[in-house]
Chain A
Amino acid sequence: MSAPLIWVIMPLLAALLVWGLLRWPRAAQGLAVSLGLMLTLLAVFLPVGEILRVGSREMIIEPVLEFAGRSLVLDNAMRPMLVLLYGALTFWLIGARAARAHALLLPFGIGVAAMLAAAEAVQPVLYAGLLVEGAVLLSLPFLAPPGQTAGRGVFRFLIFQTLGMPLLLLGGWALAGVAANPSDVNLIRLAMLFLGFAFAFWLGVFPFYTWAPQLAGQTHPYAAGFVLLILPMAALLMLLEILGATGWLRASADVHDVLRLSGGLMVVTAGIWAAFQRDLGRLFGYTSIVQTGYSLLALSLGQQLGNEIFAMMFIPRVVSLALWSLSAAVLRQSAPDFSFKSLEGIAGRYPIASVGLAMAFLSLGGLPLLAEFPIRQVLLQEIAADHPVAALGVLLGGIGLLFAGFRFLSVISGGNVGPGGLRWREMGETPGQVILIAGGMLILLFVGLFPRLVFPVMTGLLRVFPGGP
């Protein structure tokens, strides 16, 4: 038994089983959630490469699976990454039925997570591009389910994500060349160029993020939310892995400058454009881009603290984006589209979903007392210490996002906040939706109020990468 068999091959096979069960939606969801939960718990508790005693028998979970001369490696250090990946997947699968997402999200979502786990595990890293492309292709059926026309956003998503794959292959070739001949300046330039563009396409670095608002505006919010969370998350972890494994790249001041410029531009431009949006879906797209920008800014610090900030951002992001997606999907049930005009005064009919959405949005915007605030504040302080102009720009982007959040609050409340302002009617949410949304809100509040209890858990993620602490 090997770890890649458990976290890559088994989920892929189980996804086929879930697909076969789609005629029985409850059974399919039950199996999918159980599988996600089991994989997450195994990642938490099952040691890899150590002797395990089960009764009188002894066994070892091998960390390596060889395939055609290449290896998939999932050792103990990779377990926090697996917890994050499969934890996020489970979080999404739990709410899939409540959000009325298409049933194909269950099997294909598991397939996407398994492909991304394989992409993180594969050695040498250049093969990761092909596996990420597999994940992108597997996400098409739930982004454009049968019976629906795929919007331009889906095609743009496919274009930009696909363009990253060959560039990573070429970047991987150049990296291998630099390892063999470290003084070859030409290869060093090529490696930086190819890898830079590969990650720019995958992460939606300015100006390559036009697909994100389009995708979020045209597809089911729950499916779009899953893709906008899990693909950039995997790409960010891969970037950290490459930076950690390549000493000359990590030590290069140019790389940190490029990361800061890319992240800063993403936060500033997407934050400002978010402030002027009149469509909730597009707003979601811009918000997710801002989050990726913050992660790049954290990496640009180039210190242990920067890496820790980078890792600690993931938990609040997973919860906030899941809460947003679920709440938005609930609101979408009665609204013809996501334009602000259609959502006017919707808080009267869907109070819990509206509050959940507003809370998720304000948390992502960095409002005090909510989950993202403590870590955002530290990040801003660290950037301001060395690059005050960059910090000012980032602050501007953050303000744009918060402005959009308050504007959205005024839209859903119909501009009437306070006693007697809103006319409360019968709640439109089902009990299941209320429980899930309330759970998400409580987690956001808990993380915001007790950050010291939650954030240090995530720094274990950095053990995956040689350059980490």
Chain B
Amino acid sequence: MLADFALVPVVLLGSTAAFILVSQNWRASILALAIQYLAVFWLTGLVWPLGLATVKLVAGWIAGAVLGASRPDVEAFADSSPSVSYALFRLCAAGLMLVAAFSLQQAAEAVLPLQPQVLMGGMILIGLGLLQLGMSTQPLRIILGLLSVLSGFELVYAGVETAILIAGLQALVTLGLALGGAYLISAPAMGENE
């Protein structure tokens, strides 16, 4: 059933990652992250048992909740002077990255024995996540970028290895990264005794 519509999560991954790249609203971006993890779960479900794939969904959603609970201020996410032209520039960059992912897929398939949709989803997330990391200086954007890149790698890794312990540890890293990010976002407002 999941396999019949395997292109849907790939499209979801591309659109949510591109949305996070241009969005100026942190709440909407965290919502997009949650949808992104749903798509990651969908694709992981193609190669892993559904129960094991759920770990990624739960870990991702908790990570989003942790980041949301840190209540980032405007500086932690939005650009200092947002403009339509800058958003367009980011969209174009995201488009180029998507084109690169599509054009590299055949070459990547030759060396990594993965399902095409899983590989494509992973490459899109890694590419757009790296783009986010390269273009952002705001703490929340950086953490969202890192989570996207890690999700992409996890998708690729899920295609080659099914180990319960690895899945658990990767979920722990996702949560740790969200906790670390939430701490870095909140640290300036914390008192010495907190």
Query: CA of A422 to CA of B161 in the docked complex: distance in angstroms?
Result: 66
Residue from the list A137, A147, A162, A167 in contact with B191, Cβ < 8 A: A147
A146 touches B191 (CB 8 A): yes
Residue from the list A137, A147, A162, A165 in contact with B188, Cβ < 8 A: A147
B157 touches A155 (CB 8 A): no
B156 touches A155 (CB 8 A): no
Query: CA of A149 to CA of B179 in the docked complex: distance in angstroms?
Result: 16
A158 touches B146 (CB 8 A): yes
- In the bound complex, residues from chain B placing their C-beta under 8 Å from that of A163 are 149
Query: CA of A69 to CA of B163 in the docked complex: distance in angstroms?
Result: 11
B177 touches A162 (CB 8 A): yes
Query: CA of A155 to CA of B166 in the docked complex: distance in angstroms?
Result: 25
Number of contact residues on B: which range applies?
A: 35 or more
Query: CA of A152 to CA of B136 in the docked complex: distance in angstroms?
Result: 10
Query: CA of A140 to CA of B170 in the docked complex: distance in angstroms?
Result: 19
B173 touches A140 (CB 8 A): no
Q: A70-B165, A155-B142, A159-B133 are in contact. Are A145 and B187 (CB under 8 A)?
A: yes
Q: A137-B176, A137-B177, A190-B111 are in contact. Are A169 and B166 (CB under 8 A)?
A: yes
- In the bound complex, residues from chain B placing their C-beta under 8 Å from that of A167 are 153
- In the bound complex, residues from chain A placing their C-beta under 8 Å from that of B137 are 152, 155
B190 touches A137 (CB 8 A): no
**A173 interfacial contact with B, CB 8 Å:** yes
B153 touches A169 (CB 8 A): yes
Question: Contact string, B138-164, partner A, CB cutoff 8 A, digits 1/0?
Answer: 010010011001100110110011001
Q: Nearest chain-B residue to A139 (Cβ)?
A: B180
Chain B interface residues toward A at CB < 8 A: 111-112, 133, 137, 139, 142, 145-146, 149-150, 153-154, 156-157, 160-161, 164-166, 169-170, 172-173, 176-177, 179-180, 183-184, 187-188, 190-192, 194
Please give 10 more A-B residue pairs, beta carbons under 8 A apart, in addition to A146-B194, A155-B137, A186-B111: A127-B166, A140-B180, A140-B183, A144-B187, A146-B190, A146-B192, A147-B190, A159-B145, A166-B153, A170-B157
Chain A interface residues toward B at CB < 8 A: 68-70, 127, 130, 133-134, 137, 140-141, 144-150, 152, 154-155, 158-159, 162-163, 165-167, 169-170, 173, 186, 189-190
Task: List the 8 closest A-B pairs by CB distance, nearest first.
Answer: A166-B153, A146-B190, A149-B188, A130-B169, A150-B184, A137-B176, A137-B180, A68-B165
